A and B are shown apart, each in its own frame.
Chain A
Amino acid sequence: MGDGGRKHSPNDSYPTLTSTLQESTERILASHVPINTSETDYELKKNTHVQFIARVMLQGFPSKYTSQDASQPWLIFWILESFSILQVGLDPGNKQRAIDTVLACQHPDGGFGGGPAQSAHLLPTYAAVCALAIAGRPGPGGGWDEIDRDKMYKWFLSLKQPDGSFLVSHDAEIDVRGLYCLLVTATLLNILTPELLEGVPEFVAACQSYEGGFSSSSLPYSDGTDTPSFPTSCLGEAHGGYTFSCLASWVLVQPYLTALRESGNSTKASTAINLKSLLRWMVNMQGGELDLGGFRGRTNKLVDGCYSWWVGGCFPLLESLGVSVEPRIDVAQPSNGEEGAWHDADDSLYSRQGLQEYLLWAGQHPSGGLRDKPPKQSDAYHTCYCLSGLSSAQHRVVVSEGRRHAIIALWESSGGCTGPSACRSPVVPVGDFTDLLRKSAFSSALTWVEEGGGSKVIGSNTNRVNATHPVFNLTNTHLEGIMMHFYGQKVPPRTRTSI
């Protein structure tokens, strides 16, 4: 192993705590650069990772683990999504075990907690519903119809604040991760309403910091003496996890903004975020030569494998909002919904190669699983988000207007709803605007396709993993399954089955 003649980050002969830490990390990372990069140096050790995830699944969490950040639904989601990306299906027994464990975390008053009998919290609620999207099914014991959507919706509304934000839990703080979790859950379960979304775009926009990335939250300040043009301030600096949450939330409120515009309310729909400064911040999170092209989560912090997804995964989201190298030509779609063939110029805005090299060389733990950085241990969280980031770097997943039209053409306004808990929830108000929103949310979520053409996979083709949805971090198969169920709709078949 050597460093391949790579340059250290400049410290301008002015060392501080930050630059010293950066330097020692670069020294460790340098020892992970292969000397004469043969194909084996680029191997994604799929089997070792599958074995690692299987071990985590058998062990579960130590019982004393009760933090909301690392709760049972999360652990199950990380395991299931890691398997999905690695193209591993679960046997019916383990699937059922996952469903039952998740359902045991449902709170009697709606939402899911970190474990049985814990209070409901937006973060595990997201993880629980996404885990059920992967492992669950309709019918008794299948998990989907056991989700109490009426209570969940009422609980969501009870968390809502006047500025458009949401508490992550009763008596808890406001945090944009919670907002993302809520929007994903409401979109999947068909309980997204104007009441829920009122003020959300404004709140998200207020969380964008001067650096371009997003903060954990924003706070109205109560300075009575002046008339501020910026009535809110960002709590905390621009950060990868919060930036992903805000940007994905921004993408998830687009159906609402579209519906507002279509119903003539353009003033309300005019809230904007600064895409230019966001892009600049995102590209600056990619580390230099001796960071091996990994991503960091904040300016002047160290690279970490999980930001492969939280920041690397932001690029397709930004592209869906119109920021791309070339205006993409969406070839008229064949009616079967097959994606068109585009020219294969790599028009990414970051180095896909760099990111894949970081993950393959530094992200993989020799005894299985993926990690923050060497010499750290691997864990379920980093395994899931390193693999998600790898998937994002390998595949180009884009919005296809052709597929959107094909989905809308199949839309049935009656919803074809027959099952007891399918389709509309009785507590969700009905109305033309809500129907417009529902149709737009359904088609927008399912309109992402993997662009055909050349591979962006670094290393041998056996490194290829499944594509994952840029907004939901689920495969399209899982996403379509649960959304068709809760919306009572059908979608046109896909010709490519990988996503």
Chain B
Amino acid sequence: MDEIATVFLKNYQVWHHRRLLLTYIYSKDPGTKSPDLLLKELKFIEKVFEEDSKNYHTWSYRQWILSNFNRNSLWVVEIPFIEKMIGQDVRNNSAWHHRFFVVFDSGVRQGDEDREDVLRREISYTKGKISLAPNNLSPWNYLRGILDRTKTPYESVEEFVVPYTKSEESTDSVVDLDNPPPSKGAQLPAVPAVEFLADIRGSQGRIPEATELFRLLGDNLDTIRKRYWDFRIKETQGLSRKS
């Protein structure tokens, strides 16, 4: 059966059959079946990712196993697994989504009860990954996602974002471990950073600055989305009129 799944990666029906099989086995003998079989299945999925690390159905299947059986012994292997996947390709958005699924979207993991601590850990991890390749949208979306979910204001990461919106490299030689600077080869200013800062300025009511940043995006850095950036300008200015 493993062979079939690796040959027909795109065929989600194969995953569905494995799903039915696992459901069947565990419904017969829920208590005594050790999580070994499930851990083996997670290992197998990991192998399949070597051939296609973004296969949608493979990721969904993994998420189903975690959620459905909901065992601590399964959840604990996820963070190291995700770090390996993101380490291999920091642009793998499926892996970033999986991280959100594990950390924020499926209840609270053992050891993760202190949510403020978890948020700090995740922000710090994400900043580090952004610094490697600042134009990579995946960790920026993750950062927005976790701030939105925890209702944390965007301006809490302003200090980190600002250097990514400048075209020249910072001459600041002080090393700030909380706010890693853009890597040497980064192409700055990074579009997702400029957008992020514009959102911060908008939320602070600093409308002319927000407008200027959106304009920079539409006229210069990200012209394909000019209409959207114009829309954001109107929206931001409309907000200021209302308040």
Q: Chain A residues in contact with chain B, CB under 8 A? A: 9-14, 16-19, 67, 171-173, 209-211, 216-217, 219, 221-223, 225-226, 228, 230, 233-239, 277, 279, 283-284, 286-289, 293, 298-301, 325, 346-351, 354
Nearest-neighbor residue (CB-CB) of A350 within chain B: B227
| The stretch of B27-35, B105-113, B154-162, B204-212 that contacts the partner chain | B105-113
- Among A9, A16, A237, A349, the one with the most B-chain Cβ atoms within 10 Å of its Cβ is A237
- 1/0 per residue, CB under 8 A from A, across B164-201: the answer is 00000000000000000001111100100000000000
Judging by beta carbons under 8 Å apart, are A237 and B59 in contact? yes
Instruction: Give bound CA distance, A236 to B66, whole Å.
Output: 13
Instruction: Known A-B contacts: A173-B12, A226-B107, A234-B101. Give 13 more (CB < 8 A).
Output: A9-B135, A210-B141, A210-B148, A221-B67, A233-B101, A233-B105, A236-B56, A287-B224, A298-B54, A300-B92, A301-B54, A347-B227, A351-B224
- 1/0 per residue, CB under 8 A from A, across B217-232: the answer is 0000011111110110
Interfacial chain A residues near B135, Cβ < 8 Å: 9-12
Interfacial chain B residues near A325, Cβ < 8 Å: 227, 230-231, 234
Judging by beta carbons under 8 Å apart, are B227 and A349 in contact? yes
Q: Is the interface of B mostly helix, strand, loop or mixed?
A: helix
Instruction: Give bound CA distance, A350 to B226, whole Å.
Output: 8
Q: Is B90 located at the chain interface by the 8 A CB criterion?
A: yes
Nearest-neighbor residue (CB-CB) of A16 within chain B: B89
User: Which are the 9 A-B pairs with shortest beta-carbon distances?
Assistant: A13-B185, A210-B145, A223-B107, A237-B97, A18-B91, A10-B187, A233-B105, A12-B133, A299-B93
Q: Is B236 located at the chain interface by the 8 A CB criterion?
A: no
Nearest-neighbor residue (CB-CB) of A13 within chain B: B185
Interfacial chain A residues near B225, Cβ < 8 Å: 283-284, 286, 350-351
Judging by beta carbons under 8 Å apart, are A288 and B70 in contact? no
Interfacial chain A residues near B183, Cβ < 8 Å: 12-14
Judging by beta carbons under 8 Å apart, are A351 and B60 in contact? no
Q: How far is the CB of A291 from chain B (nearest CB, A)?
A: 8
7 examples of A-B residue contacts, CB within 8 angstroms: A12-B185, A173-B16, A210-B144, A237-B59, A237-B96, A347-B227, A354-B224
Judging by beta carbons under 8 Å apart, are B63 and A211 in contact? no
Judging by beta carbons under 8 Å apart, are A19 and B106 in contact? no
Tell which of B12, B64, B138 touches A299, judged by Cβ atoms closer than 8 Å.
Answer: B138
Instruction: Give bound CA distance, A67 to B57, whole Å.
Output: 16
Instruction: Give bound CA distance, A171 to B21, whole Å.
Output: 12
- Among A13, A217, A300, the one with the most B-chain Cβ atoms within 10 Å of its Cβ is A300
- 1/0 per residue, CB under 8 A from A, across B1-28: the answer is 0000000000111001001100000000
Interfacial chain B residues near A346, Cβ < 8 Å: 227
Judging by beta carbons under 8 Å apart, are A219 and B67 in contact? yes
- Among A14, A19, A216, A279, the one with the most B-chain Cβ atoms within 10 Å of its Cβ is A14
Judging by beta carbons under 8 Å apart, are B107 and A216 in contact? no
Q: How far is the CB of B202 from chain A (nearest CB, A)?
A: 12
Interfacial chain B residues near A230, Cβ < 8 Å: 105, 149
Using known A-B contacts A10-B135, A12-B186, A173-B16, determine if residue A283 contacts B228 with beta carbons closer than 8 Å: yes
Interfacial chain B residues near A16, Cβ < 8 Å: 88-92, 133
Instruction: Give bound CA distance, A347 to B231, whole Å.
Output: 9
Q: Is B39 located at the chain interface by the 8 A CB criterion?
A: no
Interfacial chain A residues near B20, Cβ < 8 Å: 171
Q: Is B126 located at the chain interface by the 8 A CB criterion?
A: no
Tell which of A172, A209, A239 touches B16, judged by Cβ atoms closer than 8 Å.
Answer: A172
Nearest-neighbor residue (CB-CB) of B110 within chain A: A225
Nearest-neighbor residue (CB-CB) of A11 within chain B: B133
Using known A-B contacts A234-B105, A236-B56, determine if residue A211 contacts B141 with beta carbons closer than 8 Å: yes
Judging by beta carbons under 8 Å apart, are A17 and B67 in contact? no
Judging by beta carbons under 8 Å apart, are B53 and A17 in contact? yes
Interfacial chain B residues near A173, Cβ < 8 Å: 12, 16, 19
Q: Is B48 located at the chain interface by the 8 A CB criterion?
A: no
Instruction: Give bound CA distance, A140 to B243, whole Å.
Output: 63
Judging by beta carbons under 8 Å apart, are A284 and B137 in contact? yes
Judging by beta carbons under 8 Å apart, are B145 and A17 in contact? no
Nearest-neighbor residue (CB-CB) of B16 within chain A: A173
Q: Is B136 located at the chain interface by the 8 A CB criterion?
A: yes
Q: Is B94 located at the chain interface by the 8 A CB criterion?
A: yes
Interfacial chain B residues near A221, Cβ < 8 Å: 67, 70, 106-107
Instruction: Give bound CA distance, A235 to B16, whole Å.
Output: 14
Q: Is B100 located at the chain interface by the 8 A CB criterion?
A: yes
Q: How far is the CB of A244 from chain B (nearest CB, A)?
A: 15
Q: Is B163 located at the chain interface by the 8 A CB criterion?
A: no
